[in-house]
Amino acid sequence: MAKTKAHPFHSIHTHGLIRVGACTPRASVGDTAANAAETIALAQQGDARHADLLVFPELNITSYAIDDLHMQTAQQAATESAIATVAAATAALRPVLVVGAALPRNGRLYNCAVVIARGRILGVVPKVFLPNYREYYEKRWFASGAGLTGLDITIAG
């Protein structure tokens, strides 16, 4: 039996809506390659479910709990490589991805949301409000992104 095409009225996009997925990856603390693989797997699942936007947790590429390892240049290089891997592996997928990563710029480290679509990094938004109480010591590792607008950053070359 031939499949009939649905009327445009039945598409959420006709009404200005999008399908958003909140992703909860299995975290591998400090293992950017494993976290990139998990991000890619969830992006593929989201694509299969016709998601338009997939949002991942803060610092999902490294995991949140690596503390001073955020400051290691080897960890920072691995993070950039993982972002490049995610971008390349999701180039043919529909959803826009928002992943979390710690990124260096001008001698400071920022806790960032990285926006990826169709194999390209579209933008980077650094976190502005950094908690610094109880178990949160973000000001020890990260600079606030307050006032940083319209700047360029190079990620993975």
Distance between CA atoms of residues 45 and 54, nearest Å: 10
Q: State how far the alpha carbon of 124 is from the alpha carbons of 98, 127, 136, in Å.
A: 9, 10, 23
Domains of the chain: 16-141 (3.60.110.10)
% of the chain at pLDDT higher than 90: 73
pLDDT at 20: 98
99-130 confidence digits (pLDDT tens) = 999 999 999 999 999 999 999 999 999 999 99
**C-beta separation of 100 from 142 below 8 A:** no
The residue whose two tokens read 């992104």 is 145
Angle 70-56-63 from CA coordinates, rounded to 5°: 25
pLDDT at 2 over 70: no
pLDDT at 1: 58
Task: Tell me the average pLDDT of the chain.
Answer: 93
Average pLDDT rounded to a whole number, residues 54-78: 94
